[in-house]
Structure 1
Amino acid sequence: MSTHKVELYIYDLSGGMAATMSPMLIGKRIEGIWHTSIVVYNREYFFGSSGVESCNPGATVLGAPLKVQPLGETQVPYSVFIDYINGLSESTYAGATYNLFKHNCNNFSEDIAQFLCGASIPKYILDLPNEVLSSSLGAAYPALVAQLEKSARPIAEEQDRAHHRNREQSPDFDQLNSQIEEARYNSFLLAQRRKTLKDKLAKKERKREKKRKKILREVGIIPVEIRQDLVMADTEALNGDEAQLPSDQALALEEEEKRDDEEKKKARDPPIVYKDLIDVKTEFDALIGLIDGKLSPEEQRSTEELHQYMLGDEGSWALGDGFLDFVGRLLNDKELPVEVRVRLLNILSVAALKDDVILVLHQDRKDHVLMNYAYEIDRLTPQEQEAIALFMVNMFENLSSSEWLLYISEWTYNNQQTSNIRVTTKVAVHSLLSDLPVLQERGSAIVHNLACKEVFDDIAVELTMALLQYFNSKPAEEQLFRCMKALAKFVQVSTQEVPQLIQMIGPDPKSFKGTSERIDTLIEQIGTKLR
């Protein structure tokens, strides 16, 4: 899967006036009145009173940014990003939602940065105080935003947008817009690919030249025709690639991206997931029977959307903006029976196996409905604990959703700072150390799957302590293998603390020697790090 650079463009709308005048006007120094945008896939994206806009990097009336701050890299495919942006432009970041103080370009940049690479924009930008914007310093802010919005597109696009606002959007129209954006990006990708191909050809040519000179030195002669044939073959291959129609090139690039994804999946250790454990139709019918007559009209629509997504073979686009509100209601309404939550989570565990579930997950980046519920695992009923553990295990099926589980961006819940990775770790540890065999089994699967990812030292240490405690319960061979495999990975991640924990706390992994050949192999690997 290819990676793409993500950058934050930072502009000072005051043109330096804020730094000079702020001490006199508001009694403290403010460096700037900040406007930000995200630059990715060779395009600049920002939010204003007309909604989400895009342009070539640095092409607005503001000119070059005051500062360009790298945020990281993303592996999100461009087509997924465009679907996400289109969704935001019609919901959370529609033009009508713009608010100078509470919902502006900087909030948009923060959300996009989180979506693409789990990064945050600088805190001093997000904390731009309201008194600055409401003072004479910020009086010109709306006009400047409107001006830069106009500069982000030609007049023809402005007219098209006015027409677009006055007509009912259709899926076909949205799809066309998405295809146009993809075509722009594919042209950029194609140019990069051609450059790479030419660089490879030049490198190959240098190697052949070096080899030719070596042969000439050794034998004194080489048929010129052979070298010419080789060069012509490479040149024809390059020309053939350049002669492809744009649509063919786009398809070829899409196929190449799919092959890269497949290769990456093959290269990673396969996760443990439960694909055939839940009959989604049975679960859905049972859920409807439990909540029938207890829903608002909006919630009723959400059940129909869920049916389309899970049983109608529709994509996640079938789920409306209020879907996660519906999920939150069912998970948190204690007047509903426990079975409602269990049935819903079982359905979501099947949804977790879908390729496009990541689009649903990213809609939860603000309210954290799913992860806040999972955070409470130690207070849930046993049936709910088993269901949330199943959901989390199946989230490792796809690369994007498994990466989502590892996000480190924090939020406050019940006066505690937490994050996706902290919640995932808590569910893993709680499940593994439970007295319930089903929960233990699923906990061992989560720990195994986490060990197949890249985790930080502190997570490796926390999971190791749970593993060592779990080993005292004399687990079955399958669970022992999963956990020993995880331990073998953790001694590589934390080369000092994890080996010290094993030696100080025990039990010694060698005490399990003879359980099976595959476990013996892992014990040997761990042993090399303990010496």
Structure 2
Amino acid sequence: MAAEEGVNVDLYIYDLTNGFASLLPQSILGMSGQHVEGVWHTAVVVYEREFFYGGGGVTSCAPGGTQLGPPHQVERLGQTFVPFQVFVDYIQGLATTTYTAAAFRLLEHNCNHFSDEVAQFLCGARLPKRLAPHPAPLTPPQCCAPSALLDALVPPQAQAVYASGVRHSRQESPEFRTLNCQIEEARVASAALEQRRSTLAEKLARKERRREKKRRKMLQAEPQAPDSTTTPETSAPVGGMAEAVEALPREEEVSRAGPSSAAAAAADLLDLDEPRAKPREPPIVFKDIDGAQEYERLAKALEGVELSGEEKQSLDELQQYLVAGEGSWVLGDEFLAFISRLLNDSSLSEEVRVSTLRCLAACALREDVSLLLHQDRRQHALLSYAHRLEDRPLAEQRAGALVLCNLFENVSSSEWLLYISEWEANGQTLSNIRATTKVCVHSCLSEDPELRDLGTALMYNIATKEVKTVVFDEVCVELAMALLQLLQSAPSEEHLYRATSALARLAAHSHDVPQLVCLVGPDPAVYRGTSQRVDEQIDLIMKRVK
């Protein structure tokens, strides 16, 4: 399944008391006098599987397949663009580290904590506050019933537990689920193709009727000679529609070609005047970076630096990932602690920090980099550093902005940059999107040409990305103000195009931005005539301003 398509992420909410919690005395539930509607168990449903955490570790089953039956409630958390195999690797990582069976605690480390973390990884969503954690401590005897129920949610024959030793039933292997997904995609594509066939046949029939009507009018206006053997009935191209329909691919051919071919075939048969889904606008990234060379520079810069055994191992892991091309699974739990030291240890040289960032910029172009990013979900070392980037030397600023630009190469990593969930760093309340925005604004307005080029690219990537409006609620004005200031500096045509493109998107996202354009200026219309593509973006802006 292509990452750009997006996959729905749902939260299944179960009441372990089946509605009786609201009827029981508080003394029985031990909830310190608080009103309790239920004792909640949650699971995340994605890729047609239900994932949850309990006394048996991380478990998956068919949606609604636990012994609890249908969920009490289903909430749509959003859509994910994380590739299926990347998600499988991520779940494996959780199941063998922080969410093992032995680590389960009914109140302190439970299914709701797991669901919250997985939801953040998939689509940046959080659990509703009413669900986690439970309102107040239960006494040990009161914990027994829900604990026992959680331990036995899924019948043994249906379990697929990702735990130490990684045991699966054969039918629940990742390969089996991938095959099922492909079969389902082929079935859906085939059904869609059949619908397209019917639609096309109807269109051809309507077109033929219009053609026939027009031909009849022409015959009435200019009658044929009496000896003519041509009649309206015999002259009509009766084979036109039949030949067109016969030319369509057969279902068995579509099945052999696969779901992607089926979808492409169906799309090709549509009339050009039908609306189509807008493709993702290509981001501006910088691929002219050699990961092997950057690693060699980092290794050379670290010569003479005392590294612990774990840090040496992390350096070797980086070589395997970046140079040898191994998957992100080679990066251990201590890898980001090592990166954090390289970026923040004042005793290390600037060259070490720049080389580290450039290595990360090369890593950012890989699809599975999202797994590396989500290792940082607790310490937020990468974006905490990025938030302070403007205080760093110019070479570090360039390298840091390059990392953020290249993270837009893949959908999952670009989503990570725009997460709105808040976290604490150095006494400040931050979020991924706030740190990204700060780097973007600073770089855009820099006097350094290289940094400004990176900043305008980052601005373009942020603004042209299709995201929920709520993501831009707090940063739209800040980004728009930076763009208007940039326009006052007589930018080059390339930078002007990026700026006007970004401003047009932000004006569509927020009602405040058009007002800022009017009040602050400059008037974008003064740049008309720079190029056709700039004029097109100015037209979009002025439609909103007027």
TM-score for the superposition, normalised by structure 2? 0.81
**Greater shift after overlay, 212-221 or 291-300?**
212-221
Deviates more, 1:47-56 or 1:209-218: 209-218
Higher mean C-alpha deviation, range 400-409 or range 507-516: 507-516
Cα distance in 2 between the residues matched to 1:332 and 1:110: 29
Matched with 1:154 is 157
Residues 327 and 16 of structure 1: CA distance in aligned 2, closer, same or farther (over 3 Å): same
After TM superposition, the structure 1 = structure 2 runs for residues 22-421 of structure 1, keeping only pairs within 5 Å, are: 23-24=26-27, 25=30, 26-132=32-138, 134=139, 136-149=141-154, 151=155, 153-154=156-157, 177-207=173-203, 219-220=232-233, 237-241=250-254, 244=256, 249=258, 267-276=279-288, 278-292=289-303, 293-421=305-433
Residue 250 and residue 142 in structure 1: after superposition, are their counterparts in 2 closer, same or farther (change >3 A)?
Answer: farther
- 2:79 is paired with a residue whose SS is strand
Aligned residue type for 2:413: S
**What is the distance in 2 between the residues matched to 1:356 and 1:86?**
14
Q: How many angstroms apart in 1 are the aligned matches of 2:128 and 2:278?
A: 37
Q: Could you list the per-position Cα deviations for residues 213-251 of structure 1 after superposition, in whole angstroms to 9, with x for gaps in the alignment?
A: 7788874577988777766665x7024445x4xxx7479
Distance 1:230 1:451, change over 3 A: closer
- Which of structures 1 and 2 has the bigger CA Rg? 2
Structure 1 distance, partners of 2:345, 2:534, is: 45
Secondary structure of 2:430's counterpart equals: strand
Check whether the contact 2:14–2:42 (CA below 8 A) recurs between aligned residues: yes
Measured at CA, do residues 430 and 68 of structure 1 come closer, stay the same or move farther in structure 2, by a change above 3 Å?
same
Q: d(CA) in 2 for partners of 1:320 and 1:487?
A: 41
State whether residues 372 and 413 of structure 1, in contact with CA within 8 Å, keep that contact through their aligned partners in structure 2.
yes
Could you say if the C-alpha distance between residues 285 and 147 of structure 1 is closer, same or farther in structure 2, counting changes exceeding 3 Å? same
Asked if 1 retains the 8 angstrom alpha-carbon contact of 2:82 and 2:411, the reply is: no
Q: Determine the C-alpha separation between the residues in 2 that align with 1:488 and 1:311.
A: 40
Q: CA deviation at 1:426?
A: 0.9
Alignment partners' CA distance in 1, 2:35 and 2:67:
26
Where does residue 434 of structure 1 map in the other structure? 446
Q: Mark the runs of 5 or more structure 2 residues left unpaired by the alignment.
A: 217-231, 269-275
Q: Identity over aligned residues, as a percent?
A: 42
1:499 paired to 2:510:
no
Question: What SS does structure 2 have at the residue aligned with 1:126?
Answer: coil
Q: Deviations over 1:20-65 (max 9, x none)?
A: 3352233222222211111222221111232221111111111111
Q: Give the AA of the match of 2:12.
A: Y
Q: State how far apart, in whole Å, the 2-side matches of 1:512 and 1:231 are.
A: 51
Change (3 A) 1:13 1:83: same
- Conservation of the 8 A alpha-carbon contact between 1:302 and 1:320: yes
**Which residue in the other structure is 2:13 paired with?**
10
Point out the structure with the larger helix share. 1
| RMSD of aligned Cα (Å) | 3.6
Amino acid at match of 1:411: W
Q: Deviations over 1:400-451 (max 9, x none)?
A: 3223222222223334332222211111111222343332232122112223
Shift of 1:329: 2.5
Higher mean C-alpha deviation, range 94-103 or range 351-360: 94-103
Alignment partners' CA distance in 1, 2:341 and 2:483: 35
SS in 1 for 2:131: helix
Matches of 2:114 and 2:355 in 1, distance apart?
A: 35
Aligned-partner Cα distance in 2 for 1:312–1:205: 53
Which one is further off, 212-221 or 98-107?
A: 212-221
Pairs aligned (count)? 507
Out of 341-350 and 375-384, give the one that drifted further: 375-384
Structure 2 distance, partners of 1:206, 1:458, is 48
For residues 393 and 348 of structure 2, the distance between their equivalents in structure 1, rounded to whole angstroms, comes to 14
Q: Distance in 1 between matches of 2:438 and 2:50?
A: 38
Task: Give 3-state SS (helix, strand or coil) of 1:306's partner.
Answer: helix
| TM-score normalised to structure 1 length | 0.83
